[in-house]
């Protein structure tokens, strides 16, 4: 069994086919799916799906690329949702210096407020980091280890940086890019992470693993990410799958 620790199945590319998506995940032995929001509407949709499907749990948060949705009272709404029994994490949140708004101060402010909320709500944080490694590390350090930790989703940094995040209580999660043929550096990083801090995800509908690169992604394909990680870690696939499943269960309390 596997857990897809990050899949936006509420996305308009997947939701119309939700029953098919969930059925194929079930056939692929994906036992649970963590569905993070990226703005208020998608966070609410994540809760709605989790309410209707026992194998889906939700996370609520505002992604740095969706800050036009940010209002001072957004945090009140997130805090309210954090109490919901199907919400297992805050996120996704973080910094994106490629596609996020130019206003880095705003990105950082919204990230810090959500990290602090995760701490207060007693939930783990799901963190997005694109070309913003130094600032994400600085903020995560300044806010300090969260009672329930968190995860660096779709990890793209160095092994040294990963060690810093692990020290602060963050799991390291890999998605489709680790299966790409030209991903030499990322493969070396994935091979170096201690299995007890490793998670796998699809980031559906994005980043389909090989051999589906470039096509719409869905949770059933987390199997290809997990197999690649087992190969890199030199671990029997079944064994690494059960370690990663135990990690996800522990982190998200599922």
Piece in contact with Ni ion (CB under 5 A), picked from 43-51, 113-121, 168-176, 203-211:
203-211
Nearer to Ni ion among residue 86 and residue 128 (C-beta): 128
Number of Cβ within a 10 Å radius of residue 163: 14
- Closest CB 156 distance from Ni ion, rounded Å: 13
Question: Which residue's Cβ has the minimum distance to Ni ion?
Answer: 203
- Closest CB 35 distance from Ni ion, rounded Å: 10
CA proximity to 57, closest of 80, 86, 84: 86
Phi, psi angle pair for 130, to nearest 5°: -125, 110
Nearer to Ni ion among residue 22 and residue 126 (C-beta): 126
CA proximity to 89, closest of 22, 153, 18, 162: 153
Nearer to Ni ion among residue 63 and residue 148 (C-beta): 63
CA proximity to 126, closest of 164, 97, 165, 180: 165
CA distances, 32 to each of 15, 110, 150, 207 (Å): 17, 29, 18, 19
Phi, psi angle pair for 163, to nearest 5°: -60, -35
- Closest CB 239 distance from Ni ion, rounded Å: 27
Nearer to Ni ion among residue 201 and residue 241 (C-beta): 201
- Closest CB 7 distance from Ni ion, rounded Å: 8
Piece in contact with Ni ion (CB under 5 A), picked from 48-56, 179-187, 198-206, 241-249:
198-206
Binding residues for Ni ion (CB under 5 A)? 203
């Amino acid at each position: 069994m596997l857990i897809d620790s990050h899949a936006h199945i509420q996305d308009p590319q997947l939701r119309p086919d939700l029953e098919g998506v969930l059925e194929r995940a079930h056939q692929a032995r994906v036992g649970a799916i963590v569905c993070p929001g990226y703005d208020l509407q998608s966070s609410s949709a994540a809760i709605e799906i989790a309410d209707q499907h026992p194998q889906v749990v939700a996370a609520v948060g505002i992604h740095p690329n969706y800050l036009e949705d940010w209002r001072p009272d957004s945090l009140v709404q997130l805090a309210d949702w954090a109490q919901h029994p199907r919400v297992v994490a805050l996120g996704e949140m973080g910094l994106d210096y490629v596609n996020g708004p130019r206003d880095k101060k705003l990105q950082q402010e919204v990230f810090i407020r959500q990290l602090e909320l995760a701490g207060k709500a007693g939930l783990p944080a799901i963190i997005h980091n694109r070309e913003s490694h130094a600032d994400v590390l600085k903020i995560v350090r300044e806010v300090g280890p969260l009672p329930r930790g968190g995860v660096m989703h779709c990890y793209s940094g160095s092994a040294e940086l990963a060690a810093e995040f692990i020290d602060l209580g963050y799991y390291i999660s890999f998605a489709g890019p680790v299966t790409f043929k030209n991903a030499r550096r990322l493969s070396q990083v994935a091979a170096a992470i201690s299995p007890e801090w490793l998670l796998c995800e699809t980031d559906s509908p994005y980043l389909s693993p090989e051999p589906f690169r470039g096509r719409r992604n869905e949770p059933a394909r987390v199997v290809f990410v997990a197999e690649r990680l087992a190969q890199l870690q030199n671990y029997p696939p079944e064994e690494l799958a059960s370690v990663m499943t135990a990690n996800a269960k522990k982190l998200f309390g599922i």
